[in-house]
Amino acid sequence: MAIDKMEQSLRPPQLELKSFPSKIITLASGEEMIVREAKREEVGVILGTIQPLMGVQKDFYDIVASRMYAEVLGWYEYRVANEFVLVGVIKGEIAGIVNSRLADGKTGMSFHTMTIKRGLRIGAQLFAAKMEHHIDILGNDEVHIVAESPIGFKRWMIEYALEDRSDQYPLLRHELGGVPTFTLTRELWDRVKADKCTGFRPVPPEKLATALKLKMPSEYPQIPGFKRG
């Protein structure tokens, strides 16, 4: 599609990002989750996955879903620079989504982590994959992180013992707003990743094939009785 001058002027400059190599994780239930990078043309199914959760107040799904929806749409429409989206896929269905962006070549800005299928620490694994991508693959030195729910605070700030950088406000401000900014440094990541991050590569082709065509979840534990129209 031809991009006119006005549209061109609206788009931010982009860094060239290495792609995330897909991996496969066996969850506690025995199910296999493939974690892979989402493609721009898959935005429709990702937004369709997020949208029903925008009305779920419990556990702050509403704010996380609404913001993630806007961020993913912004990525699709070239309004956010250097963003990437990873999806966790079980039997072809999206089980969780994480997104993030690079502020510059050395600094990551973690956006959101959303778990659809719960009780299997899918969010924890996807968050770890996001950090792995930032630090091990994209070569960032540190990633800034905020939490918008108690679950996030327990999972990231406490379990990772992230560095509290809130004393650097307003010099350091996470892009998601004024909530205290915490940081995962390369040193901290190297210390914790063996206990936090897992998965095998390469994903066997026949298993990867099951995750290539993304499907929206058929049910949401957060929305009892949900039926996709």
Partner 1 sequence: MREVSIVGIGHTVFGNLSDFDLVDVMGFASGNALDDAGIREEREIIEQVFVANMGGGILNHQTGIASSLVSRMDMEPAMAELIENGPASGASAVKMGYMAIASGMVDVVMVTGGELMRTVTGWEGTDFVASLLHPEAEYNYGLTLPAYGGMFTRMYMERYGLTERDLGLVAVKDHQNGEKNPYAHVRVPCTIDAIHDNENAHVINNYIAEPLRMYGMCPVSDGAASLILCANDSPKMKYFTKEKPILISGIGSATDTHCVHNRKDPLILDAVRLAAERAYAMAELKPADISFAELHDAFVILELAISEEIGFFPRGKAAEAVRNGVTAIDGAKPVNTSGGLKSKGHPVGATGVSQVFELVKQLREQGEEGRQVKNPKHGMAVNFGGFGNNVVAIICSKGEE
Residues that bind partner 1 (CB under 8 A): 25-30, 58-59, 119-121, 125, 150, 153-154, 158, 195-200
- What angle, 0 to 180 degrees and rounded to 10, lies between the N-to-C axes of helices 122-132 and 186-196? 140
What is d(CA 21, CA 63) in angstroms, rounded to the nearest whole number? 29
Q: How far is the CB of 74 from partner 1 (least distance, A)?
A: 31
Give 30 or 229: the residue with its C-beta nearer to partner 1: 30
Please identify, using beta-carbon distances, which residue of 44 and 119 lies nearer to partner 1. 119
Q: Which residues does 212 contact at the CB level (< 8 Å), separation at least 6?
A: none
The nearest distance, CB 195 to partner 1, in angstroms, is: 6
- Residue 193 tokens, joined: 């990743």
User: From the CB of 152, what's the least distance to partner 1, in Å?
Assistant: 12
Is the dihedral angle over the CA atoms 147, 152, 154, 158 positive or is it negative?
negative
Helix (H, G, I), strand (E, B) or coil at 217: coil
* In the complex, minimum distance from the CB of residue 163 to partner 1, in angstroms, rounded to a whole number: 18
Identity of the residue, 81 or 124, whose beta carbon is nearer to partner 1 in the bound complex: 124
**Among residues 187 and 195, whose Cβ is nearest to partner 1?**
195
